[in-house]
């Protein structure tokens, strides 16, 4: 059966994890669905990359799609508004975006602008985040929720913002914060608006299960909560407490765990209202998951619920328990970050080189005077049969090891060893192909199949652009962005250019779950071959590091107007001088030191003055160059 686009969609699961935003067109290119006026237009990622190349911008590229960010905010808010309407819920919904998920200026600006129609707010967990938020939060009906540690300077800034008409709510993360807030409030004569974060006993699921439960780092336990209520009463500040907050963790895959936590939380919320606090807001924290692997399951990289189901479940739980106790329905807040920005960014990188372990091509027969071990290997190639694959593999492995021993003892030279290895890998490739036809594949042959995976060397840094892939085994959808109208016949691991054994991606999504290799096309030397990692808008830019001094890649926002691709907000990636300055080098001092060294080489007669100029120019150009591979 011939290969077609439907086969590509099925292999890479693009319609399972793409959420309607990504697809493959008839030309075999991955497309992103962008709004152009009142219609949605498929835009080829390969065409975007070609347009950037024409403009002189090198790989890798981080593509941002403003339209997808807007649509995620829209979908989140509309899901809650629909659930509120359908259930006659008497409260409202106010989303806030936690800045820590992606702190880039463009993200905060876009969320503030588009989110205004929904009174969409921000969450700040540090003083720098608060300062950034205050510059963009000018909607008096949106919430600016302050979590994290708060010193006097933080508290004063939040209080002054309240004075200017911004709805700032300081959430108590630990008991010691409350006396400090009360003291600064009295000193400035500004009444605060307060929330309390509570440690739920309900356990969560997924990578961040420890964010909830008794052993979670932040939040007050039951005795501390009662102590805080008593202090607020005694100090005359109970009327300032309007918000109750809990946080289960990030990427919650199971809706059942979400319902259980919400049930416990609303019970505490009701109890605070019964204590006399004017409770108005129930902040249910983050955790809304992204279906990275497209399995729609309760696996860590997936979720077994839709956005609409998430909203409907939270509304139902809160409504039920408030009605039972005659407590007014609160305004619901979620701090959904990952689910809002994940789709927003796509990392595209090119393949620089390939190391092949599979050898489908016929190797050269050994010369007549070649060592017997090479002829023995060649003889195995001629007798491979389904009935004795294990024996053929055992023999090939034995003769290959014998050849290596002969080389170590100086009996054969490197050319002979190389010829033997080519024959060995060709034999293994044929054995593995025939093993696929067996009803039961022996363990050794299963291991052999995993060893016949090629290395595709990719022009990016895992540690800079996909740190969660390395740190917590996060799955990201990864696939070629072109040539998908032809069948990908090779299996590969992606190795980055960091010269680190951990600098690779070796877990991928496939139709059956996950696999240790990516199906790729045969890439010949010098041929353009581009691959993309999707759903990288959450945390990856924030957590990326400078391993091997590989800095931020080029960034560009992409949209479409009247059928034409529009490039905006272009941000050049880090230069070599940039990353060196991050680790306390002075580029000017480096150049001076190198120039002096070159002058000494001139004085010693090692190079001429003209050669010195060329060498120093090359050094200077290197400082100003991109940290990634430039052709």
Q: What is the per-residue pLDDT across 173-188, written as a single tens digit (0 to 9) for each? A: 999 999 999 999 999 9
Confidence of residue 361 (pLDDT cuts 50, 70, 90): confident
Adjacency order of strands within the sheet including 30-36: 22-24, 30-36, 39-44
499 tagged catalytic: yes
91 neighbors 115 (Cβ within 8 angstroms): no
- pLDDT digits 0-9 by tens, 38-78: 999 999 999 999 999 999 999 999 999 999 999 999 999 99
pLDDT per residue as tens digits for the range 522-539: 998 889 999 999 999 999
Would you state the pLDDT for residue 512?
75
- Bridge-based pairing of strands 554-561 and 96-98 is unpaired
Residue-level pLDDT at 1: 65
- Closest CA relative to residue 459, chosen from 179, 131, 61, 50: 61
Whether 377 contacts 424, CB under 8 Å = yes
The first and second tokens of residue 594, run together, are: 């190198």
Q: What angle do CA 39, 43, 46 make, to 5 degrees?
A: 180
Q: Which position among 146, 322, 499, 501 bears the catalytic label?
A: 499
pLDDT of 207 reads 56
Lowest mean pLDDT among 50-59, 332-341, 512-521: 512-521
Confidence of residue 217 (pLDDT cuts 50, 70, 90): low
State the pairing for strand pair 504-505/490-495: antiparallel
Of 1 and 89, the one with more pLDDT:
89
Encode 442-472: b = buried (16+ Cβ within 10 Å), e = exposed.
Answer: eeebeebbeebbbbbbbbbbbbbbbbbbbee
Query: Quick one: pLDDT band at residue 367, thresholds 50, 70, 90?
Result: very high
Q: Taking the CA atoms of 355, 360, 361 and 363 in sequence, report the sign of the dihedral they define.
A: positive
Q: What is the mean pLDDT of residues 143-152?
A: 96
pTM check: above 0.85: yes
pLDDT range class, residue 138, cuts 50, 70, 90: confident
Mean pLDDT of 620-624: 96
Q: Tell me if 290 sits within 8 A of 342, measured CB to CB.
A: yes
Asked, as a colleague might, if the bond just before 60 is cis with ω within 30 of 0, I would say yes
pLDDT digits (tens, 9 = 90+) for 111-130: 999 999 999 999 999 999 99
**Average pLDDT of the chain, as a whole number:** 94
The conformation of residue 413, written as its DSSP 8-state character, comes to: -
Q: Residue 239 and residue 233: Cα distance in Å, rounded? A: 9
Residues 460 and 554: their CA atoms lie apart, in Å, by 11
Tokens 């000494």 map to which residue? 600
Q: Enumerate residues 6+ apart whose C-beta is below 8 A from 537.
A: 64, 69, 102, 107, 341, 342, 343, 344, 345
Q: Report the percent of the chain where pLDDT is more than 70.
A: 98
pLDDT at 39: 95
Q: Is pLDDT above 60 for 5?
A: yes
Other C-beta atoms lying within 10 Å of the C-beta of residue 178: 21
- State mean pLDDT over 303-314: 97
Torsion angles phi and psi, residue 429, rounded to 5: -60, -45
């Amino acid at each position: 059966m011939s290969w077609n686009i439907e086969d590509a969609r099925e292999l890479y699961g693009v319609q399972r994890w793409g959420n309607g935003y990504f697809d493959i067109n008839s030309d075999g290119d991955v497309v992103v669905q962008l709004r152009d006026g009142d219609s949605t237009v498929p835009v080829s990622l390969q065409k975007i990359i070609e347009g950037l190349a024409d403009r002189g911008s090198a790989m890798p590229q981080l593509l941002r799609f403003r339209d997808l960010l807007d649509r995620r905010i829209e979908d989140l808010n509309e899901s809650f508004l629909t659930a509120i309407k359908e259930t006659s819920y008497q409260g409202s919904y106010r989303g806030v975006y936690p800045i820590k998920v992606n702190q880039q200026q463009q993200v905060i600006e876009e969320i503030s602008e588009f989110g205004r129609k929904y009174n969409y707010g921000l969450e700040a967990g540090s003083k720098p985040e608060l300062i950034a938020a205050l510059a963009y939060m000018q909607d008096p009906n949106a919430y600016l929720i302050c979590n994290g540690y708060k010193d006097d300077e933080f508290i004063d800034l939040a209080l002054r913002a309240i004075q200017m008409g911004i709805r700032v709510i300081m959430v108590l993360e630990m008991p010691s914060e409350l006396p400090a807030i009360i003291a600064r409030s009295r000193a400035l004569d500004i009444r605060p608006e307060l929330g309390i974060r509570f440690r739920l006993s309900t356990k969560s699921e997924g990578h961040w299960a420890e964010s909830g439960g008794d052993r979670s780092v932040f939040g007050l336990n039951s005795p501390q909560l009662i102590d805080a209520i008593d202090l607020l009463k005694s100090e005359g500040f109970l009327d300032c407490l309007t918000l109750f907050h809990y946080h289960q963790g990030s990427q919650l895959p199971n809706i059942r765990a979400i319902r259980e936590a919400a049930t416990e939380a609303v019970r505490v919320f009701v109890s605070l209202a019964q204590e006399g606090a004017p409770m108005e807001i129930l902040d249910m924290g983050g955790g809304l998951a992204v279906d990275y692997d497209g399995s729609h399951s309760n696996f860590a990289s997936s979720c077994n619920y839709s956005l609409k189901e998430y909203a409907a479940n939270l509304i139902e739980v809160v409504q039920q328990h408030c009605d039972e106790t005659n407590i007014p329905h609160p305004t619901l807040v979620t701090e959904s970050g990952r689910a809002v920005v994940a789709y927003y960014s796509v990392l595209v990188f090119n393949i620089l080189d390939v190391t092949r372990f599979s050898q489908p091509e016929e190797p050269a027969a050994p010369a007549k005077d070649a060592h017997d071990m090479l002829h023995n290997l060649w003889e195995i190639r001629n007798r491979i049969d389904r009935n004795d694959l294990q024996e053929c593999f055992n023999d090939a492995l034995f003769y290959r090891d014998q050849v290596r021993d002969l080389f170590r003892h100086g009996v054969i030279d490197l050319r002979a060893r190389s010829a033997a290895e080519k024959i060995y890998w060709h034999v293994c490739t044929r054995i593995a192909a025939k093993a696929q036809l067996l009803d039961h594949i022996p363990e050794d042959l299963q291991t052999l199949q995993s060893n016949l995976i090629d290395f595709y060397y990719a022009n990016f840094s895992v540690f800079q652009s996909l740190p969660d892939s390395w740190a917590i085994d996060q799955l990201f959808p990864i696939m070629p962005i072109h040539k998908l109208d032809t069948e990908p016949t090779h299996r590969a691991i992606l190795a980055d250019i960091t010269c680190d054994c951990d600098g690779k991606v070796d877990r991928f999504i496939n139709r059956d779950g996950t696999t240790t290799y990516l199906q790729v096309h045969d890439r010949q030397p010098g041929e353009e071959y581009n691959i993309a990692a999707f759903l990288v808008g959450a945390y990856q830019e924030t957590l990326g590091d400078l391993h091997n001094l590989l800095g931020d890649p080029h960034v560009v926002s992409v949209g479409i107007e009247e059928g034409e691709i529009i490039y905006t907000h272009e941000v050049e990636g880090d230069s070599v001088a940039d990353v060196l300055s991050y680790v306390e080098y002075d580029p000017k001092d480096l150049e001076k030191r190198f120039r002096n060294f070159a002058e000494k080489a001139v004085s010693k007669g090692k190079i001429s003055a003209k050669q010195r100029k060329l060498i120093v120019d090359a050094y200077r150009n290197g400082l100003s160059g991109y940290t990634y591979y430039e052709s």
